[in-house]
Amino acid sequence: MQPLLSSESETTAEAIRAAPVQSPGTQLLAFVSDDATATALRAGLHDVMEDVQVQRGTILTAIRHLEKRATPPALVVDVSGVANPMDTLERLARVCAPSSKVLVVGENADIAFYRDLVRVMGIAEYLPKPIGRDAVMRVFAPMIAGVPQIEATTRGGLVVAVCGARGGAGASTVAVNLALQLANSMHGHVALLDLHLTTGTTALQLGIQPGSGLRIALESPERADSLFLDRCSVPVNDRLRLIAAQEPMDAPCAPTQEGMRRVLGELSQHFNYIVVDMPARPGVAERQVLRMARQLLLVMTPDVVSVRDAERLRRWATQSGCGAQATFVLNRAGVPGGLKPALVRRELNGGLMFVLPDVGKAILRANNLGMPALRASGAFRRSLLPLAQEVAGLGIGRNRPSWLARMFRA
Ligand SMILES: Nc1ncnc2c1ncn2[C@@H]1O[C@H](COP(=O)(O)OP(=O)(O)OP(=O)(O)O)[C@@H](O)[C@H]1O
Ligand SMILES: [Mg+2]
């Protein structure tokens, strides 16, 4: 453990300010607003953790920090003086990896507040101030000691299933670029899962090689263990990982329902968002994704056949037990001869719809260079942002349960 203060007599405030920015091995990072709480944390966690860092700040400082850096296994945030702690915790949940254990300190000693934090928001523990060393040892230390057991966490990432109404509608393009937008603009930890095991295109669009082992994990659930991520996922950047495969064309791929459930369960322990590029005709195993999804994006092009099939797909998904919020994505809007977005919207009877422009040759050129569409076209990137905000729970379709409540399903 790195002692934050060399002696109790040293001024704590100075020591807090001098605390280094998070080192790679940090096991617990705390942002607290007063010296007494910092001292209590340091003393109370002394025997539990090797590397504890306490910094001066509040939950707002923590959010800014986690937008740019990796999430430590355990996090302590201070909600003292924060006008709306629940909303602010919701913002924290969007940038904090779900596997991290979040502990909260604050000034509110109300039992109802405690219950909301722990039961509704999925916070590991809460302590009201003033906080002494004993309370930290008694309440926080046992929770933190269990940090490696991330399977026990009740929080989980949000599964977003991206389906094309027909082949070639742009589902993979939307999945890849949405995943990048969620990672870059929403600062989430994102997994992009490509379920086209033989003919996937997401790796090509990102200019990387897929990892190996996804097919085995989907076929044999016992292989979808905690090591699965290391074997199968490839980093795209520090917030986004790709889980894809490039099996031989004649490989007899047979994903199972249980394999799919385990793979998604594992991913949801580590990522805020799991964006799934779905095959055009979901089989039994892929339907498991629809059951676990919180968002279903139906990608279509501006022609009568595509719009008809998007609507049919939505109905079929609902009948198959998909409880996700269905959102239409009209891709390639403005392509010569295509239907106008207003007309498509009317056909869909007011269903929530986002519009992405046709960007012509730019996308083809970019993909041939292993570059995603949003890097090649500013118009495409700008149009994608409202969709990413919708998925993150910040968008126009906000008359739903809070993002956090949906994400922290018990
Ligand atoms: N907004 C767009 N503007 C112009 N071209 C696009 C756009 N979106 C996708 N495309 C092009 O359309 C083609 C099909 O896109 P994509 O591979 O994303 O579709 P898909 O639905 O995943 O297809 P599949 O059914 O084969 O999986 C690609 O060549 C892609 O570059
Ligand atoms: Mg595709």
Tell me the average pLDDT of the chain: 85
Identify the residue with better confidence: 368 or 401. Answer: 368
pTM here is: 0.74
**Which is the closest atom of ligand 1 to the Cα of 166?**
25
Q: Which residues are found with C-beta within 5 Å of the ion, ligand 2?
A: 172
Token digits of residue 282: 């979901």
Dihedral of alpha carbons 97, 103, 124, 150, sign: positive
Residue 26 binned pLDDT confidence (cut-offs 50, 70, 90): confident
Looking at the structure, give the CATH architecture of the domain made up of residues 12-152.
Answer: 3-Layer(aba) Sandwich (3.40)
The pLDDT tens digits for 127-154 are 999 998 888 888 888 888 765 433 333 4
Q: Domain map of the chain by residue range?
A: 12-152, 158-407
β 233-235/240-243 pair status: antiparallel
Kindly give the number of the ligand 1 atom that is closest to the alpha carbon of 299: 21
The alpha carbon of 166 and the centre of ligand 1 are apart by a number of angstroms equal to: 11
277 vs 281, more confident: 277
Q: Of residues 299 and 111, which shows the higher confidence score?
A: 299
How many C-beta neighbours within 10 Å does residue 122 have? 21
Checking if the pLDDT of 204 tops 80, the result is yes
Query: Both tokens of residue 386?
Result: 């409202």
Q: Select the more confidently predicted residue: 30 or 323.
A: 30
Query: Is residue 270 within 8 Å of residue 228, measured between CB atoms?
Result: no
Span from the CA of 364 to the centroid of ligand 1 (angstroms): 9
Ligand 1 center–CA 64 separation, angstroms? 35
Ligand 1 atom closest to residue 358's alpha carbon, by position in its atom list: 3
Rounded to the nearest angstrom, the distance between the alpha carbon of 171 and the centre of ligand 1 is 7
Distance 178 CA to ligand 1 centre (A): 14
Whether 398 shows a pLDDT value over 70: the answer reads no
| pLDDT for the residue numbered 155 | 55
pLDDT digits 0-9 by tens, 338-393: 999 999 999 887 678 999 999 999 999 999 999 999 999 999 999 999 999 989 87
How far does Cα 13 stand from its chain's mean position? 34
Tens-digit pLDDT profile for residues 76-120: 999 999 999 999 998 998 899 888 889 999 999 888 898 889 888
For ligand 1, pick from 174, 363, 371, 382 the residue to mutate: most ligand atoms within 8 Å of CB. Answer: 363
Name which residue sits closest to atom 11 of ligand 1, judged by CA. Answer: 170
What architecture does CATH give domain 158-407?
3-Layer(aba) Sandwich (3.40)
